[in-house]
Amino acid sequence: MTATPGATPTIVLVGHGMVGQRFLEALAERGLTATHRVVVLCEEPRPAYDRVQLTSYFSGKTPEELSLTDMGFIEDHGIELHLGDPAETVDREARKVTARSGLVVGYDILVLATGSYPFVPPVPGKDATGCFVYRTIEDLLAIEEYARAKATRGAVVGGGLLGLEAAGALKGLGLETHIVEFAPRLMPVQVDEGGGAALLRTIAGMGLTVHTGVGTQEIVSDDSGAVTGMKLSDGSALDTDMVVFSAGVRPRDQLARDCGLTVGERGGIAVDEQCRTVCDPHVFAIGECALAVDGRVYGLVAPGYEQAETVAAAIAADEADQVTFTGADLSTKLKLLGVDVASFGDAHGTTEGCLDVVYADSRAGLYKKLVVGRDGTLLGGVLVGDAEAYGTLRALTGSVPPVSPESLVLPAGADSGVQLGPSALPDDAIICSCHNVSKGTIRGAVTEHRCTTVPEVKKCTKAGTGCGSCVKVLGQLVTAELEASGVEVDKGLCGCFAQTREELYEIVLALRITSYRELLDGHGRDGARGGDGCEVCKPAVGSIIASLAPSIGASGYVLDGEQAALQDTNDHFLANLQRNGSYSVVPRIPGGEIAPEKLIVIGEIARDFGLYTKITGGQRIDMFGARVEQLPLIWTRLVDAGFESGHAYGKSLRTVKSCVGSTWCRYGVQDSVRMAIDLELRYRGLRSPHKLKSAVSGCQRECAEAQSKDFGVIATANGWNLYVGGNGGATPRHADLLAQDLSDAELVRLIDRFLMFYIRTADRLERTSAWLERIPGGLEHVRDVVVHDSLGICDELEKLMRAHVAHYRDEWSETVTDPEKLARFVSFVNAPDTPDPVVSFVPERDQIKPDLPLLNIGLRPADDALEGSAQR
């Protein structure tokens, strides 16, 4: 069919990705779906999904959860969506599109949103069995299937955004993973040399092997045509079972070429400021297939959304909404392999006369660079390892910040200058670049449209519904605006309790409440009383009661009575749940010191039960692969040998790491091993809002890495320096110096106070690093309370800690001697002698590994069972 004069005008959209879906929404917002017939031709077998979050499929998200398409929206607006039926030809003269199925659709307006295709270097062997690209959900499904069946090693060609995501996917599948990048650094487009170096160190520390500055010369295969290796341009070779090409993308413009539309020299459909093709006023192009007037093809979602809205405005011919697209902000914030990476503005410092302000901590994997003009204008920057300030910094780009550039990059507590927050931004600062939403619009949603929650503001403004990098800033602005308007902000723990965790702690302590039921019925919200509670408050209250057990007369055993029903998945079996349904066993090894006899016991147990063993970064020995019914048998032998629970499963103290100290090291000035053992034995089993890690270094050389711990101790010639609030992992933070040159007694007293003050005032699942930055007054307030007793509560804090130390009991020692407690350790209650058939293993490097690498165990939201164990 062709367009008929007088008939309902037809808009044909070719492609239904993220940008295509945003275009449909923009049409609906302007009422164009009511006045036009809208037809969508989509190549993929599924409607638009979140390609930005594609890798989250490998961490448990389903394709349905990644979907961006509400089929109710499609039906309500009468949109004709044809899945798996791409456009094959366009007849511009007759204004009609022919789809693969033979469907012919006439159009008045044609919008091409065909996206891009993965670039595969023209190397010999690129079509071998085991070679993949990384672009769609179908690509991921194919990679997953092949990795499960035939691969133990994988290589990713390309170290850009998608390349690192692909590497993370292969690593998550249990493969030995290599990254091959032709440029001299990872992510060469987004980060500079310093940022690339920090990223490389962090990724290499995760066990991935990175090859930069080399290209792929050939893919080697065996007689069956399956991949067996790669030859690189430097003459080296890699053994690999599969190859994922992620070396960039190219505009998908073949449909446009075939129908005679103008394309750029390097690809992309040439468009004007309204995204209308330069040679046909009836055809538009948006997203990764479009070549904008500034000569760029934009590969980010935010510019694509802006183009989609530009075309909708042009179709509506809205004189009051004259939207043009002449270029876009290339700022981006991502989390790649668990590492925060962000760049904004002139990240590479190309502006003439600009200056750099750089903060780098190679040990912590931190790199922050701001590019500043000579007049003080913030021009851009790069953040690696800690992108917390991205939203604020990006919004300030192009202006002179009200504080010094140094205070914008230094970690909290390292500078006396004022730390800048979102509230200091001007109203015209763009908070959500995906949907071009300003701070003023967000404030208006609260003050004019009466939005009181982040979800309500999202719905009202679309802020935070794109890539999601602005959600934290969005929440801060909503809270600040509500408070400024005199509106009481609900800071309750959850829907069951109007009180914060800190307030519930005080209630439990003051009233000596020993059960969740008593607390809920006496202090829960109306409607929650008499109910069963929720997944948020049950483990949080369970932790509070466990922390205060000796002082309030409660049982200190977390699986006694009602307490058992409150615990996270890990605590249910006093072990860390692993990805295939098996469990890990982690005995405590205080200070990393262990006698040969105990080493032999661990070795014998691992051998007898066929467990995988690994030395951790926290100076312990993890044993993986135990079935639930084996846990009591294993722990009986461990307890008989003098071991106790290492609490790798609990929100409690994990380890106190140490160097060898003055006993062995010629640089040591204090006995760090003795102190580490004393501290670990003192604080073992201490339940807290989140896990706790510690370390003691015997001198300033800091071999135990104490400054990356929740509380860390470094020896001096005069005693001990105490650092607090450090954090490694995905969001590293350097610890702050709380006090120095302490005696043994002074050190222990201050740690007692610090830990109990943290447990008393932190939010649920809040690490000390986040708590220290959130609590009003920050480090100085904590120092006033803990060191100078400004609140007069230190006697009480010390008393609470003494009660914990005096009443500590090892959970596994109690468990293995109680038949009633042992009864819970079965896979099937109705068949206690039947092992779980899902728990199975395959050999790897003389040990075992799970043979179900992507089995998604149903964890409670509060669990961190799958969190990296590098510092357990």
Half-sphere exposure of 133 (CA within 13 A, CB side): 14
Half-sphere exposure of 321 (CA within 13 A, CB side): 13
Return the number of other C-beta atoms located less than 10 Å from residue 435's C-beta: 21
- What letter represents residue 822's amino acid? L
3-state secondary structure of 424: helix
Q: CB of 182 within 8 A of CB of 213?
A: yes
Tokens matching residue 829: 């209650």
3-state secondary structure of 690: coil
Tokens matching residue 301: 């979602």
3-state secondary structure of 388: coil
Listed in sequence order, the DSSP H helices in 586-693 are 596-609, 631-640, 661-664, 672-683
Q: CB of 195 within 8 A of CB of 367?
A: yes
656 beta partners: 694
Question: Which conformational region is residue 72 in: left (phi greater than 0), alpha (psi within -120 to 50 degrees), or beta?
Answer: alpha
Residue 659, annotated as binding a ligand: yes
Interior angle at CA 85, CA 83 and CA 86, nearest 5: 115
3-state secondary structure of 492: coil
3-state secondary structure of 141: helix
Q: Cα(572)–Cα(579) distance, rounded to whole angstroms?
A: 16
Q: CB of 493 within 8 A of CB of 764?
A: yes
Residue 275, annotated as binding a ligand: no
Listed in sequence order, the DSSP H helices in 397-529 are 405-409, 439-447, 454-461, 471-484, 501-511, 516-523
Longest dimension (CA), the chain: 93
**160, 166, 173, 432 from 141: Cα distances, Å:** 21, 13, 12, 32
**65, 430, 433 from 464: Cα distances, Å:** 17, 12, 9
Q: Cα(650)–Cα(12) distance, rounded to whole angstroms?
A: 55
Which helix (H) or strand (E) segment holds residue 759: the answer is helix 744-761
What is residue 276's DSSP assignment? Answer: B
Strands (E), 79-175: 80-82, 87-91, 96-99, 104-106, 109-112, 116-118, 131-133, 153-157
For tokens 């970690």, the residue is: 411
Name, in order, each residue with C-beta under 8 angstroms of 29's C-beta and a sequence gap of 6 or more: 312
Q: Cα(12)–Cα(80) distance, rounded to whole angstroms?
A: 9
Q: CB of 30 within 8 A of CB of 56?
A: no
Which residue from 405, 409, 402, 371 is spatially nearest to 387, judged by alpha carbons? Answer: 409
Interior angle at CA 714, CA 339 and CA 744, nearest 5: 135
For tokens 């935010």, the residue is: 302
DSSP string, 803-846: HHHHH---HHHHHTT-HHHHTT--S-TT-TTPPPTT--EEEETT
DSSP string, 657-687: EE--HHHH-TT--S-HHHHHHHHHHHHTT-B
Which helix (H) or strand (E) segment holds residue 692: the answer is strand 692-697
Q: CB of 639 within 8 A of CB of 813?
A: yes
Q: Cα(160)–Cα(296) distance, rounded to whole angstroms?
A: 18
Residue 451, annotated as binding a ligand: no
Residue 259, annotated as binding a ligand: no
Q: Mark the binding-site residues for [4Fe-4S] cluster, compressed into ranges.
A: 659, 665, 699, 703
Q: Mark the binding-site residues, compressed into ranges.
A: 659, 665, 699, 703
Q: Mark the binding-site residues for siroheme, compressed into ranges.
A: 703
